[in-house]
Structure 1
Amino acid sequence: MTDTPDAEAIDPQALDGVEEGKRLIRLGGDTGLSLAERLSERFQRLTWRTPIHTMRLRGRYPLKLIAVPGDPVIGDIKRGQALLAGTVSFQGEHHALDALDFGRRDWSRPFADYVHSFAWLRDLSTVATRPQGAPIAERLLARWLDAYSDKVDALAWRPDLWGRRILFWTSHAPLILSSTDLVYRSSVLNTLARGARHLDRGADKAAPGSRRIAAWCGVVAAGLLIPGGDPRKSFGEAGLARALAGGLSDDGGAVSRSPAMLLDAIMLLAMLRETYAARRLELPDPVQAALARMVPALLGTTHGDRALASWQGGGPATADRVAAVIEASGVRTRPLRQARDWGYQRLAAGSAVLIVDAAPPPVARLVESGCASTLAFEFSDGTARLIVNCGGSQAASTQLPKKIIGGLRTTAAHSTLIVGDSNSTAIHPDGTLGRGVAEVELSRQESAAASRIEASHDGYVRRWGFVHRRQLMLTGDGRELRGEDALLPSGRKRKAPTTPFAIRFHLGARVEASATADGLAAILRVPGGALWQFRCRGGMLTIDDSLWIDGQGRPIATQQLVVVGEAAAGGASVSWALKRAA
């Protein structure tokens, strides 16, 4: 992937195109963090416990905030109601408020991040008045202060969590600063100032992408809202510009290639935008330019139901959440159809939407739970999703077995071709991505009659000696999708006489499949009454069980169409078609 130039130098409209035959190559290797980088990160955290770092956190403490911004995004009503009822809930994990111990280390990572970031303040404020919510918020915050106000902890003081904490504490100050207890109020403001000083030195140590963006948003917000913060504001704006340049591709996508993470980054910038507005200031041009690129890229991965597609560990964030974040961003635009480094190609015709992953997986060092999904696609008709990916390894309920959550990252959990039941890009036992897809060749042609995408990847060349080529054509009325998957001999790998392969088409929730007697076709009954016919040639069709992670992180039992066959040394080809029958 190419380096990202300065945000203000980019014309978003000029990016809506891909040259035919353009090669998208993953640069920088496929390794994760080096040993030296891991040691440096660990050493950095160890320095947090030293007297020197404690001295760095000292300084003048604020008596009040200069302004109180609003939170432009509505929270989750169910989670807010659970808080009122005495329970903290997130992604299937539940803990009673009265027994909540911030010192525990057995929480799942998503739940711990939710609690320590204080994102739950948004959910609480959505359903509670100040008299209802303030006692709950202040009680939990007081416990957190008892545990961590003077203790720099590797988790609780993680830079990205401090960035989010500053945004949520300041946006929901009426809930946490309503107390008449002056000692408590002073402790909150003093800890806020200490956290800002911690970020001054640690924001750039956060992982690239939304974490580093979160950390620098916290620095800027502190500079805007804590008295005497003008130097920090300027320093933070420069750091945020760097974080955006390193965390976004040229076309506005996240370097993690995760739509869910891009949605999160837009949400952070929307909160920061509200912070500037509270001071009657405009968002800096580089940040506004970044938002202008990010929103079209995000919309390019939404279906007809306006919810996200499931890519790179993210689940199908609900249409309401996507709409709320985009409205808060202040950007009004159309979906990006032809991405470059972001990698998602979008075809829309009639009521149909096709989204294709036409790029290598993200570089291992830039993502914690990347997926081997190259050349997979999702397909929807109106609000009904016909073909999906299982998705959601990051968004799934924490109560799911780890084996299933890990399986959601595999090639087999995506709607694409799998050779020998292996991944197109290796997934190591520690969760990092290994060798596999290094290059994707892509061409795209469009006309009034039909739109066509042809792409190939080299993920199976090293082990199996085949390139996977996928051709997709969507008719102009959106009523027919034709495809061909081919395995083409490549490389010096000596091939076995036959190599097994399977092409998986995971079906959306409540899509019912019925196979025909010849084993070459199936009828798909879609919610809402529509019928689609699937036919294939070059392999045998079977129907198997599958699952899909919904917008709430819950596993939904579904089905999948599986076309199986064997490739000779000279390769193989399977053609198939999805056609709306009624």
Structure 2
Amino acid sequence: MNLGHTLRWAVHLRPSQIGWRLLRRLQRAFLQLPMGAPNGPLRFLTDPWPGNAENGKRIASDGRILLLNLEHRLATPIDWHPCHKPALWRFTLHYFNWLADLKAAGRADAARALIADWIYQNTSPRSEGWHPYPLSLRLFAWLRHAPFVLEGADEHFRTLFLSSLDAQARLLPRLIEYDVGGNHLIKNLKGLIAASACLPTHIDGLSAWLEALRKQVDEQILPDGFHYERSPSYHLQVLVDLIDISDLMQEPPAWLNETIERMLPALATLRHPDGGLALFNDGDTGDAVLLEALDRRFGKPAPLPLLPDAGYARLEAGDMVVIFDAGLCCPDHLTAHAHADTLSFEMSVGTQRVIVNSGTYAYQDPDWRNYFRSTAAHSTIMVNGQNSAEVFATFRLGRRPAKAELFRDGDWIVGRHDGYRHLGITVERRLRLTAQGLEGEDRVIGAPNPLFSACFHMPSRDEEASGQFIRLSSEGQLAVHEGQYAPHFFEKVPARWLKLSPEPAGSNAISWKINRL
């Protein structure tokens, strides 16, 4: 690990983060699982999100589960900590969100057997299943699906299940992720609010946890309605979390519903005409079933042309849509899901994505993690073959843009950033969408004879797939490279990326057009 990278990352951490991180490490050695009491819930949560009946049948009948495009044997004896699976996948297994799939398949018997097996096998609070993030999601999932799993259950299972619920709700307040913050902290508070609303021995904490959530919402949701980690995927997650919290309240506070109303059009701004999410920062194109359920419930709010605080712009002309990122990478203290993607854009013609960013693929894959985070993996401008932000380790950034601008200049939208200030360079991209297609002007300012290029990623290696919709033209020098496209986690397909360089070399500007055919 490069010491310079680490120092440039650490200098942005808040002192409280460092303090909480040290406390958590000391705490881990002495952590004990509290005893739980089998108290029945005062009330149950609503269940508005549909499950996948096919996956539920696979779990119950075949003893196999499909999560994040990876399958695993889920028949006794169950391996709840498969070391051959990535950490994100193992976390997802411990979320128990897949209870919705068993519910859709009508297999409460299988749900009870798996829950009981988990309780018997996961008795150490220092194992990954008790990490506060999966703990928060599992606590909420068990409370949400309690009516389903308890109906027809014998007294032994009922006591086992309710005692474990109570124990999890007692442990979570000791593990709140103040050292991480962001969407993790929202998940922690969601679990605690649900426990306080549903479990009789936790009701006294409801007001305090709601106030803690309000403070986080004030910090994390920007004035334009977008989540401050600037990832469409995590914006969607936080939006659903807040909807779930609102649903469990008999009288939701006004600030909560007002926040949801602001977040919905912000989400629409980052959705392509195919209904999926744009690939900026970490995440994927989204769960189509979840997005459709959101649309059925809330309708389809009109996208916004500009999210000035998050730094996104949306251009539309005919059946063409362009989504442009000219914002900062992330909150400076929270770099986990940031990519070096400033001034990147994605483009659709109808429901066909024709220019994309490469996606995320995996968090813990050392061969691919920081390729997918790199500037070269995005449809943006790259100087001297370097990243516009120093991506390293799994979730860290060293140097990154300190200033990013997004503004209109007549019928052009203009983005500018200083991620290459160590080279004495500012980078600018100007975009204009007309009925004929997208025009772009890329420029580097501040250094003589710069070496820079514009990258354009296409979601398929098949030239005809995008070529039937668009054609890139420029007086610059064009090179074609093999690339990778990851529309979902652990799904990676061969793709193409085009590298456009100024002609003659050393020029500080290049113009290009993507013509609609």
TM-score when normalising by structure 2: 0.90
Distance in 1, matches of 2:430 and 2:384, equals 21
Deviation at 1:97, TM superposition (A): 1.0
Indicate the residue corresponding to 1:163 in structure 2. 136
Indicate the residue corresponding to 2:78 in structure 1. 100
Deviation at 1:540, TM superposition (A): 0.7
1:534 to 441, 452, 472: 472
Indicate the residue corresponding to 1:525 in structure 2. 467
Distance in 2, matches of 1:431 and 1:485, equals 29
Distance in 2, matches of 1:239 and 1:327, equals 30
Correspondences of 1:19-168 after superposition (within 5 Å) = 31=11, 33=13, 37-38=17-18, 40-47=20-27, 50=30, 57=34, 61-84=37-60, 85-98=62-75, 99-126=77-104, 128-129=105-106, 133-148=107-122, 150-153=123-126, 155-168=128-141
Indicate the residue corresponding to 1:379 in structure 2. 347
Distance in 2, matches of 1:38 and 1:357, equals 30
Deviation at 1:331, TM superposition (A): 7.2
Correspondences of 1:558-577 after superposition (within 5 Å) = 558-565=495-502, 571-577=507-513
Indicate the residue corresponding to 1:294 in structure 2. 263
2:211 to 224, 238, 256: 238
Distance in 1, matches of 2:254 and 2:472, equals 49
Distance in 2, matches of 1:386 and 1:46, equals 50
Indicate the residue corresponding to 1:15 in structure 2. none
Deviation at 1:371, TM superposition (A): 0.3
Indicate the residue corresponding to 1:424 in structure 2. 388
Cα pair distance change 1:567/1:217, threshold 3 Å: farther
Distance in 1, matches of 2:15 and 2:85, equals 28
**CA deviations over 1:418-445 (Å, ceiling 9, x no partner):** 1121101111245411113111122214
Deviation at 1:355, TM superposition (A): 0.6
8 Å Cα contact 2:265/2:304 also seen in 1: yes
Distance in 2, matches of 1:134 and 1:225, equals 21
Deviation at 1:204, TM superposition (A): 5.3
Alignment gaps of 5+ in structure 2: 1-7
Deviation at 1:122, TM superposition (A): 1.8
Name the aligned partner's letter for residue 578 of structure 1. I
Indicate the residue corresponding to 1:578 in structure 2. 514
Cα pair distance change 1:178/1:107, threshold 3 Å: farther
SS at match of 1:207: coil
8 Å Cα contact 2:355/2:458 also seen in 1: yes
Q: Which portions of structure 1, spanning 4 or more consecutive aligned residues, are displaced by more than 6 angstroms?
A: 566-569
| 1:274 pairs with 2:242 | no
Name the aligned partner's letter for residue 325 of structure 2. D
Distance in 1, matches of 2:271 and 2:54, equals 24
Correspondences of 1:505-524 after superposition (within 5 Å) = 505-509=456-460, 512=463, 524=466
Distance in 1, matches of 2:10 and 2:473, equals 37
8 Å Cα contact 1:30/1:433 also seen in 2: no
SS at match of 2:392: coil
Indicate the residue corresponding to 2:437 in structure 1. 480
Cα pair distance change 1:381/1:331, threshold 3 Å: closer
Size of the alignment, in residue pairs? 508
Correspondences of 1:173-252 after superposition (within 5 Å) = 173-178=146-151, 180-203=153-176, 205=178, 207-227=180-200, 229-252=202-225
Indicate the residue corresponding to 1:19 in structure 2. none
TM-score when normalising by structure 1: 0.80
Cα pair distance change 1:564/1:504, threshold 3 Å: same
Deviation at 1:219, TM superposition (A): 1.1
| 1:546 pairs with 2:510 | no
2:306 to 330, 335, 338: 338
Indicate the residue corresponding to 1:284 in structure 2. 253
SS at match of 1:403: coil
Indicate the residue corresponding to 1:467 in structure 2. 426
Cα pair distance change 1:97/1:246, threshold 3 Å: same
Cα pair distance change 1:36/1:288, threshold 3 Å: closer
Distance in 2, matches of 1:200 and 1:430, equals 27
Name the aligned partner's letter for residue 214 of structure 2. A
Deviation at 1:513, TM superposition (A): 5.4
Distance in 1, matches of 2:236 and 2:425, equals 36
CA RMSD of aligned residues (A): 2.8
Distance in 1, matches of 2:26 and 2:294, equals 36
SS at match of 2:367: helix
Distance in 2, matches of 1:36 and 1:235, equals 20
SS at match of 2:407: strand
Deviation at 1:47, TM superposition (A): 2.5
Distance in 2, matches of 1:174 and 1:124, equals 13
Correspondences of 1:422-461 after superposition (within 5 Å) = 422-429=386-393, 431-445=395-409, 451-461=411-421
